[in-house]
Amino acid sequence: MTDIIIHCAVALLLPPLLLGVIGKTKAAFAGRVGAPYLQPYYDLIKLFQKGSVFSETTTWVFRAGPVVTLAATLFAALLVPLGRHGAPVSFSGDMILFAYLFGLSRFFTTIAALDTGSSFEGMGAAREVTFSCLAEPTLFFALITLARMSKSLTLSTILTSVTPAIWLAAGASMLLLVGALFIILLAENCRIPFDDPNTHLELTMIHEVMVLDHSGPAFGMILYGAALKLFVLGAVFVNVALPVATGNTFADWAIFIIAMLGLAVTIGVVESVMARLRLVRVPQLLVGATILSAFAMILVLR
């Protein structure tokens, strides 16, 4: 019971902090002071109190987009185990539902973007669906590999049964998996080198351009949903990459939170030292990640 409460509290409250940490890291690299760590929370509170502007071309689809997207992402947050504890909702086969919930949220984000009739948002939506489509097989290769190691179809079991012993036994495979998962994490969350979350008015961007017309509470939900998605996929990554379990509930939660913040710092470092890839290079990197994860699967077959 305690775990469920902590799970919900962490999953609901922590995500915006990740954005704050990424921002602070990038500021540190640029030699700036940067916005406070809690800035994303202030932004969210502000957005939920702002009025909205709706384009005349939009319909109910535009309003439903952020709602369905956030609902699906929240559901995914209930399926993923955090801090070496089983998730509140878990059943055999939930890994497939987990992957498809992102498909559902993507469908609604992109049709909401198309509802504005703007070609900018059309471009963003086209890129989003294309790149995610290439990222999807990678996720499944990774899940099959992990499922084979843990002999389970339950996301909680799959992710919590990764132990240091498995790392020692199948280190090469795990390393490939971690690499592939990190690429997927960056691509799905539209971070550098796939997309630059700071640019708002370029022809090359993906996620930010899809949400150009959203305002007020809807934009707040989108911002929160994006942070939550980063958190959820980040949690999958941390579970695989850092399989430390102490046995003490609170120590595990503390380790998890520190690991998530460390991940945010890592993303901030990647964003500071890398440039965004040219758009035509993005699919190559994604297909590369698929092949990495396919190798990981082959390596565990022995």
Which residues in the 157-186 window bind another protein by CB under 8 A? none
Under the binding rule (CB under 8 A), the answer on residue 144 touching another protein is: yes
Q: Which of 5, 9, 13, 61 binds another protein (CB under 8 A)?
A: 61
Of residues 278-297, those binding another protein (CB under 8 A): 283, 290, 294, 297
Cα→Cα distances 197→122, 154, 206, 224, Å: 17, 33, 9, 14
**Neighbour-count burial of 12, counting CB atoms closer than 10 A to its CB (0-12 exposed, 13-18 middle, 19+ buried):** middle
Of residues 104-143, those binding another protein (CB under 8 A): 104, 106-107, 110-111, 114-123, 125-127, 129-130, 132-137, 139-141, 143
* Residues touching another protein, count (CB under 8 A): 85
Under the binding rule (CB under 8 A), the answer on residue 277 touching another protein is: no
Cβ–Cβ < 8 Å for 180, 141: yes
Q: Which of 172-186 are b and which e, b meaning 16 or more Cβ less than 10 Å from the residue's Cβ?
A: ebbebbbbbbbbbbb
Under the binding rule (CB under 8 A), the answer on residue 96 touching another protein is: yes
Binding piece for another protein, criterion CB under 8 A, among 14-22, 61-69, 171-179, 231-239: 61-69
- Minimal distance, residue 68 CB to another protein, in Å: 6
Distance CA 4, CA 125 (A): 35
Q: Which is nearer to another protein, 56 or 247 (CB)?
A: 56
- Minimal distance, residue 143 CB to another protein, in Å: 8
Q: Which of 30, 31, 51, 275 binds another protein (CB under 8 A)?
A: 51
Q: Which of 62-77 are b and which e, b meaning 16 or more Cβ less than 10 Å from the residue's Cβ?
A: beebbebbbbbbbbbb
Angle at 206 between CA 205 and CA 207, to 5 degrees: 120
Token pair belonging to 43: 């932004």
CA nearest to 208, candidates 189, 228, 180, 234: 189
Q: Which is nearer to another protein, 10 or 211 (CB)?
A: 211
Under the binding rule (CB under 8 A), the answer on residue 75 touching another protein is: yes
Under the binding rule (CB under 8 A), the answer on residue 196 touching another protein is: no
216-241 vs 39-48: helix crossing angle, rounded to 10: 150
- Minimal distance, residue 18 CB to another protein, in Å: 21
Token pair belonging to 44: 């969210």
- Minimal distance, residue 69 CB to another protein, in Å: 10
Q: Which is nearer to another protein, 131 or 253 (CB)?
A: 131
Cβ–Cβ < 8 Å for 98, 250: no
Under the binding rule (CB under 8 A), the answer on residue 210 touching another protein is: no
Q: Which is nearer to another protein, 216 or 288 (CB)?
A: 216
Q: Which is nearer to another protein, 112 or 267 (CB)?
A: 112
